[in-house]
Amino acid sequence: MRILRCWIRRGHHGHHRAWDQFAHDNGGAQLLALRGNNYFDACAHAAERGDDIAQQALAGMREVLSSERDVFTLEYPCHSPAQRRWFVLHVTRRTDGSDGLITAHEDITAWKLAEEQLRRERDLSLRYLEVTAVMIVALNAQGEVTLINRKVVRYSVIQRPRSWARTG
């Protein structure tokens, strides 16, 4: 798992070697040119141009800076032409007494891709439940019905209450 960290203090920006590596891997000179820029100011500029994610990030950083909250997190996509990827921005106040923030961008791409795969598999399984020629009834550990397919409803006296999982 890669985490990109930087710290922000009014008028100054520090960075971590992980940012240099990320820039090298994902855009070279264009991203490396951003080194030394203030992340807070960059978000403010993007927010002014209407970037919704930047607006959310800026609002969260302002809340942490003003001590309205201790921590701010924001999950966001950061796709490149060659790769889909997602990150979580973590924002906290500096702990050394100086005025500023610490930001960390955690790469959660593997997690998001796994979620998408699970969703596809679940949808396929639910479609199979509806087209199969057999009646399917699922019970939980307490013996309560948690899922039935249309075949059960069609050929039995069991009615599917609204609280049961739907399969289509």
Task: Report residue 53: phi and psi, to 5°.
Answer: -65, -40
Q: Residue 91: is its pLDDT beyond 80?
A: yes
> Lowest-pLDDT range, 18-32, 78-92, 94-108?
18-32
pLDDT of residue 8: 45
Residue from 60, 43, 59, 40 nearest 51 by CA? 43
What pTM was estimated for this model as a whole?
0.65
Q: Which residues pair with 147 in a beta bridge?
A: 138, 165
Report the SS3 class of residue 124.
helix
pLDDT in tens, 17-74: 655 566 556 655 444 444 556 778 888 888 899 999 999 999 999 999 999 999 999 9
Contact call for residues 22 and 2 (beta carbons, < 8 A): yes
- CATH 3.30.450.20 occupies which residues in the chain? 3-107
Structural fold of domain 3-107: Beta-Lactamase (3.30.450)
pLDDT band at 13 (very low <50, low <70, confident <90, very high): very low
